[in-house]
Amino acid sequence: MRYYLAFFLCLIMSIPSFSQQSKPYISLAEAKKIADAAEAKALENEWTVVIAIVDDGGHLILLRKIDGTQIGSVEVAQAKARSAVYFKRSTKVFEDGVNEGNVRMLSLPNAVALEGGLPIFKDGFCIGAIGISGVRSDQDGVIAAAGLEVLEEK
């Protein structure tokens, strides 16, 4: 009987422990709420911008281009969001770095050194990012922050 139990335990324990770990992720519904808040902030200031939200792999979940925004911002907004996920930090960190003379950061593939890209964290995981482009980079940053504010609201 004791042997049986041992054998059984052994079986249980030998069941592969593959991918028992899990990580949170962002849904389209959440992305829409973030984008709504960002869009409202942009319209409030009469700023024309592109809003891009990506998942933890840097892949687009949602993009909106406010009428009249320069088309270059379609790519820049995505690049900022991707940069924020790829390096788990605000693109402002790179902008500040470059401004302080760390020009070498410009050679980092996929890094954008302009404010407006913010990572989204949950339980220690970077689950996605928002990228804004269209106005001055500090203004882009204001809109990005406004988007992520909905994550903290009561």
Q: What is the binding site for a copy of itself (CB under 8 A)?
A: 11, 13-16, 18-30, 55-67, 70-72, 74-76, 79, 83, 85-88, 94-95, 98-99, 103-114, 122, 126-127, 137, 150-154
* Contact yes or no for 90/115 (Cβ under 8 A): yes
Closest approach, Cβ 1 to a copy of itself, in A, equals: 22
| Cβ burial, residue 127 (10 Å; 0-12/13-18/19+) | middle
Closest approach, Cβ 46 to a copy of itself, in A, equals: 14
Comparing CB distances to a copy of itself, the nearer of 111 and 132 is: 111
Comparing CB distances to a copy of itself, the nearer of 140 and 142 is: 140
The span from the CA of 32 to the CA of 63, in Å, is 9
Question: Per the structure block, which two tokens stand in for 35?
Answer: 């984008």
Name the 3-class secondary structure at 35: helix
Comparing CB distances to a copy of itself, the nearer of 42 and 142 is: 42
